[in-house]
Amino acid sequence: MKRSLALLALIIAIPLLTQAQDKGYCPSFPDRIPPSMPRKTPPTPHYPDDVYEGTVTLLATISNTGYVCDVRVLHSVSRELDSKAVEAVRSRHLQPAKKDGQTIPVEAVMSVDFWKYKNGEIVPSTAPPNSN
């Protein structure tokens, strides 16, 4: 009976471990939230007809292999744009942080600006992460 339970636990754990290894080591950082710093002035538009819609500020946990594994909204614009910002950041693969020559997981504050184009489409423009 014990052997069957151990075998069952191993069968369940192997796919979970494999999935976790693909994204690298991604710890849960303590529940500390850095202060949110919304933009005081709008960024410069890429094209003259672009209209600035707002900036969503996020706290992202980045694994030791550069995958974004956890994202929290620090400064919200709207539910729709918050969701698009989280999706945009999660889809990125970043260069992993290094300490003493070893890659390490980190937290980074990231900003996603939203622009409304001439055709009415609202699109994200992701800025590089700020060091935390």
Q: What is the model's pLDDT at position 73?
A: 93
pLDDT tens digits, residue range 74-99?
999 999 999 999 999 999 888 988 99
φ, ψ for residue 51, nearest 5 deg? -115, 125
Q: If DSSP codes are grouped into helix, strand and coil, which group holds residue 113?
A: strand
Q: State the burial class of residue 66 (Cβ atoms within 10 Å of its Cβ: 0-12, 13-18, 19+).
A: middle
Q: Does the pLDDT at position 68 exceed 80?
A: yes
Q: Does the pLDDT at position 66 exceed 80?
A: yes
Alpha-carbon separation of residue 19 from 24, 48, 107 (angstroms): 9, 44, 21
pTM summary value = 0.68
Delimit the domains of the chain by residue range.
24-29+44-132
| Neighbouring C-alpha atoms within 13 Å toward the C-beta of 92 | 22
Phi-psi region of 117 (alpha: psi -120 to 50; beta: other; left: phi over 0): beta
Phi-psi region of 102 (alpha: psi -120 to 50; beta: other; left: phi over 0): beta
pLDDT tens digits, residue range 16-62?
443 444 667 777 765 555 555 666 677 777 778 888 899 999 999 99
Evaluate whether 108 touches 89 at the Cβ level (below 8 Å): no
